[in-house]
Structure 1
Amino acid sequence: MRELELFTVDTPYRRPLPVRGWAFGAPDKKSLAVMGALRGNEIQQMYVCSLLIQSLAELEREGLLAPETGILVVPCANQFSMNVGRRFWAADNTDINRMFPGYDEGETTQRIAGRIFAALQDYQYGVHLTSFYLPGDHLPHVRIMDTGYERAEEGLAFGLPYVVVRRPQPYDTTTLNYNWQLWNTTAFSLYTTETEDIDPGAARQAVQAVLRFLRAKELSRRDVPPSGFTPETFQESGLHNILSSAGGLLLRSREPGDLVKPGQILADILGPCTGEILEHLRSDCVGRVFFARKSRLIDGHEVAFRILPET
């Protein structure tokens, strides 16, 4: 295991912050890069990287990494925002994961994205431990951008319950996942159930998924127990969005993974001052809750749930 200082980030009124990576295996090989927290509230994602570093260090000590394997793990590239409790770059509220592939002469987050991309470029595989733009809880899954370069079948090797293929929107073209693929890296985004909090069980599941992927690609010689799931691949456009029509307090009665039927109540929206029920949010299909909004405050016409319909 080698600890590397990839670059430093200048921050106002503070000393420069180093962005560090942990490298394993052959120094001249680029097999797998894992990126953790690009946003200041991605605590779970950073925690998953810390557990992964421990597991990879053990594999390396025991000589179980394949000889031609080189792995890099970057737990966090946004310590500045994390230190002050902000999701996006604290100075101007911009999102690093909307700035790739970066620009050396641009704004601060563009320059940071450029340095990150330079460190992560040319790897055969890339895994981004990331969070969704809506505050909420997901079922664990691997997400792949439909860029024309993707190989969705490779996502099955993680052994997670779902592989989601997303047709990119214009704003997706500046994400790490999308640009990795354009520069010939087979890229995956891995989602766990938490972001701002730590879920140890979900974190271990994510680490096991990465280790299972390494074994499937013959980058590791350690056998990993099967996950017990038969992964399901589907297009993200097939999810049913359940939108609010009223704003207020959101009280969930269903959780990710719950099976629901048409008309079944998923949550109530209450008037914040009177407690009056303003709306019952109901399922519109037979399926499984795939995403549930976590924030207790909701506006009108926001996504509260996403349902994966049964086929």
Structure 2
Amino acid sequence: METKELFRMKSNYREDMLVQGYRFGKGEKAACIAGAVRGNEIQQLYICSQLVKQLKELENKGCINANKEIMVIPAINPFSVNTGKRFWGVGDIDINRSFPGNQEGDTTSRIAAGVLEQICDYTYGIQFASFYMPGEFVPHVRMMETGFQSPSLANLFGLPYVVIRKPRPVDTKTLNYNWQNQSTAAFSVYTNKTDELDEKSAVRATGAVLRFLTRMGIIRYESHSGYISHVIQDEDLTNVHAGTAGLYRRLTTPGEYVRYHQPLAQILDSYEGFTKQEILAPTEGIIFYAHKDPLINQGDITFRIIHRLHE
């Protein structure tokens, strides 16, 4: 294992901000794995740390295939991780909306440009990402429909679902989108949690990446075959919105099968405690995403449901 400095930004009042990666093997730039781009992505940071640990052991056993290089970057935004803020600085700027960046631009733009320059030549790019809304997911692989996406490759992670989504204008500034534009086969992997550790989903995510690297001939690692992934389109998911604001009491969890009109959650009056709304399932299917925070606003997405899959 070799530690590599990918980007350094000088600071007058504190230590320099350093983005560093851990390199395993030598030769062809086969795969790059990125963790926390936002300051609250603690689960993503943790999964990368476990991959560093596993890959170090595999390298010591000679299980990194010849002429293959793997790079793991636990945190692209260590300053925000250290300060406990999701976004960068007083302006709350999202680095994952700053790609491809500009070496002469503002701070987050320079960070994005500096990091992308170092990782754009890898054949495969894997990012442990988080959603823009607080909540929990069924573990899945997500790809943008850029014309370079490959659902068949995404299936090799062996996670239950592969989600393909059409990029919106704001998505063109993300790492995943710009990786694909650099001819890297880019995948975003989502697990149950973001700002707290979930050991079960972390183990599953680590295993999924090692399974993918094995199937692409980059490492030698014995693992279970995983799932035969079901490919779904993001626009085919049913969104369930909150009809009012208040305290949020969730009754179901991601991965749970629900029937039509089954109670999914309750929204309570925050002062008097009575039920303002009982949220019912508008369709039969599987909970794909569930809102997490104890407070909710009117109009927020509370659940995303996969329609029942008929034989």
What residue number does 1:266 align with? 264
Establish whether residue 125 from structure 1 lines up as the match of residue 130 from structure 2: no
Give matches, 1:201-240, under 5 Å. 201-227=200-226, 229-240=227-238
What residue number does 1:24 align with? 24
Among 284, 287, 299, the residue aligned to 1:286:
284
Q: Which amino acid aligns with 1:233?
A: V
What SS does the aligned partner of 1:30 have? strand
* Distance of 1:149 and 1:271 partners within structure 2: 48
* Distance of 2:234 and 2:298 partners within structure 1: 23
Contact between 2:7 and 2:111, CA under 8 Å: does it hold in 1?
Answer: no
Where does structure 1 lack aligned partners over 5 or more consecutive residues? none
Q: Which amino acid aligns with 1:243?
A: H
Contact between 1:238 and 1:308, CA under 8 Å: does it hold in 2?
Answer: yes
Contact between 1:139 and 1:257, CA under 8 Å: does it hold in 2?
Answer: yes
What residue number does 1:5 align with? 5
* Distance of 1:130 and 1:11 partners within structure 2: 27
Contact between 2:148 and 2:180, CA under 8 Å: does it hold in 1?
Answer: yes
Q: Pick closer, same or farther for the CA change 1:31–1:250 going to 2, 3 Å.
A: same
* Distance of 2:195 and 2:13 partners within structure 1: 26
What residue number does 2:92 align with? 93
How much has 1:212 moved relative to structure 2? 0.3
Give matches, 1:152-171, under 5 Å. 152-171=151-170
How much has 1:12 moved relative to structure 2? 6.5
Q: TM-score normalised to the size of structure 1?
A: 0.97
* Distance of 2:190 and 2:43 partners within structure 1: 10
What SS does the aligned partner of 1:97 have? helix
How much has 1:255 moved relative to structure 2? 0.6
Q: Which amino acid aligns with 1:146?
A: E
Contact between 2:36 and 2:45, CA under 8 Å: does it hold in 1?
Answer: yes
Q: TM-score normalised to the size of structure 2?
A: 0.97
What SS does the aligned partner of 2:29 have? coil
Q: Which amino acid aligns with 1:113?
A: A
How many residues align structurally?
Answer: 309
Establish whether residue 58 from structure 1 lines up as the match of residue 57 from structure 2: yes
> Percent of aligned positions with the same letter in both sequences?
42
What SS does the aligned partner of 2:299 have? coil
Q: Pick closer, same or farther for the CA change 1:247–1:7 going to 2, 3 Å.
A: same
* Distance of 2:288 and 2:135 partners within structure 1: 10
* Distance of 2:284 and 2:224 partners within structure 1: 32
How much has 1:149 moved relative to structure 2? 1.0
Q: Which amino acid aligns with 1:21?
A: G
What residue number does 1:246 align with? 244
Give matches, 1:70-85, under 5 Å. 70-85=69-84
Q: Which amino acid aligns with 1:104?
A: Q
1:165-203 CA-to-partner distances (Å, cap 9, x unmatched) read 111111111100001111100000000111100011111
* Distance of 1:78 and 1:64 partners within structure 2: 30
Q: Which amino acid aligns with 2:128?
A: L
* Distance of 1:260 and 1:10 partners within structure 2: 52
Q: Which amino acid aligns with 1:91?
A: V
What SS does the aligned partner of 1:31 have? strand
* Distance of 2:13 and 2:305 partners within structure 1: 46
1:272-297 CA-to-partner distances (Å, cap 9, x unmatched) read 11112111111111100010000111
Where does structure 2 lack aligned partners over 5 or more consecutive residues? none
How much has 1:223 moved relative to structure 2? 2.3
* Distance of 2:268 and 2:68 partners within structure 1: 54
Q: Which amino acid aligns with 1:221?
A: R
Q: Which amino acid aligns with 1:254?
A: T
* Distance of 2:298 and 2:81 partners within structure 1: 30
How much has 1:309 moved relative to structure 2? 0.7
Contact between 1:141 and 1:164, CA under 8 Å: does it hold in 2?
Answer: yes
